[in-house]
Structures are given as C-alpha cells and as structure tokens.
C-alpha cells in the first residue's frame, strides 16, 4: 500500500501560491529592483535581499521584515526588472503571508491601516474618512487620535472631510461582495 508523506510547504512554495509571488523563482539577483527603489534606504532588507533570504528559507527574518510594508507600490522595480518578475506584487504577497502567519513587523502600522480599511469595505462597502481614521487610531494608538482631533475638526469645518458614510446601492454591494469573496479565495488578508 502506498503511503503519502505529508510535508509542510517551504516558504518559496507558499510565496509562489499567492498570485504575484510566482516570479521569485526567476530572480537572477541583479539588484536592479533595489537600485530603483525610492524606499530601499528605509527597509531593513532591500527587495533583492528579501528575495534571496526567502529562497534560502529564512521565514521569520523575511516575514518580520519592514521592507514590504515600506513598499510604496511605485512599480519602478517592476518596469525595470529584466526578468519580468514584478517585485511589487512579490512585496504584496509577502505582506499577505506575514499577516496570515502573525509575523508582521511591529515597527510599522501599515498592517493595521490595511485592517481598518478592509473592515470598513467588508462591513459597509465604502471607507468614510472620519470612521476609518478613528478606527485606525483606536486599533493602533488611541492617544494619537486625541492629538489628531484638532486637525480633524479643522478639516470638517472647512468641508475637506465628510462625517457621512456613503452607502452602496444593493446591486453594487452584491457585486463588491462577490469581488471580495473571490479575492479572499485567491489569497486575501481576511
């Protein structure tokens, strides 16, 4: 009788399973992405290094890096990569894995920002500015919410921010829900 041996996936296999992550296998380590990246100096590991570390199986170091969270999605690396790897998508795939495995970098609040954003989109289909920022600060740093209150009041007073939440029509809400469900199946954060 044939016995199937179960083994857990390697980090590279997990990255390849997320749309946009497949290119990691084709990287030739030329460094063009790192040289192009406007935020490389803020990252603890450059995009090229992150790819090399992921291929070396350095799961914890890669998924707790701040690099993907500092990615500004400017796509410079993507248009310049000689192997058509799309490092920007790779960064997003790493964010997704980091959140799934609770290895997010503690020095960045970007995952909480994403969480606040998706909480609103999932619950009401839109992102009201006041509610979104209030939720973000409550999840990340409630004291900072107090400091930002004067700015929020000024923006409200001058009509630069609305307190009202825009609701989608039922059909639009149904379509959005279908898109979100599909995104979740493909490897979303929720």
* Chain contacts with ligand SF4 (rule: CB under 6 A): 27-33, 36-39, 47-48, 51, 71-77, 81-83, 85, 87-88, 91
Nearest distance from residue 117's CB to ligand SF4, in Å?
18
Nearest distance from residue 97's CB to ligand SF4, in Å?
16
Residues 6+ positions from 56 with CB-CB distance below 8 Å: none
Burial of 65 (0-12, 13-18, 19+ CB in 10 A): buried
* CA–CA distances in Å: residue 154 to residues 42, 133, 143, 149, 151: 32, 15, 19, 9, 5
| 42 or 147: CB nearest ligand SF4 | 42
Nearest distance from residue 57's CB to ligand SF4, in Å?
18
Nearest distance from residue 114's CB to ligand SF4, in Å?
15
HEC string of 79-140 equals: HHCCCCCCHHHHHHHHHHHHHHCCCCCCCCCHHHHHHHHHHHHHHHCCCCHHHHHHHHHHHH
* 38 secondary structure, DSSP code: T
What tokens appear for 80 in the block? 């310049």
Nearest distance from residue 94's CB to ligand SF4, in Å?
10
| 61 or 129: CB nearest ligand SF4 | 61
| 47 or 128: CB nearest ligand SF4 | 47
| 88 or 116: CB nearest ligand SF4 | 88
Contact 11, 66 (CB under 8 A): no
| 59 or 83: CB nearest ligand SF4 | 83
């Amino acid at each position: 009788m044939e016995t199937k041996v179960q083994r857990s996936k390697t980090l590279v296999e997990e990255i390849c399973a997320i749309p946009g992550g497949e290119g990691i296998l084709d990287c030739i380590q030329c460094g063009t992405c790192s040289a192009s990246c406007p935020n490389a100096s803020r990252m603890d590991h450059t995009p090229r290094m992150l790819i090399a570390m992921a291929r070396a199986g350095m799961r914890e170091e890669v998924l707790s890096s701040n690099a993907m969270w500092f990615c500004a999605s400017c796509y410079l690396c993507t248009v310049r990569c000689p192997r058509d790897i799309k490092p920007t998508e790779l960064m997003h795939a790493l964010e997704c894995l980091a959140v799934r495995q609770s290895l997010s970098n503690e020095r960045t609040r970007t995952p909480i920002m994403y969480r606040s954003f998706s909480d609103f989109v999932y619950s009401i289909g839109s992102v009201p500015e006041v509610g979104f920022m209030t939720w973000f600060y409550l999840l990340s740093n409630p004291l900072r919410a107090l400091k930002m209150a004067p700015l929020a009041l000024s923006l409200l007073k001058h009509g630069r921010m609305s307190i009202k939440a825009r609701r989608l029509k039922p059909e639009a809400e149904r379509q959005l829900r279908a898109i979100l469900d599909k995104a979740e199946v493909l490897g979303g954060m929720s």
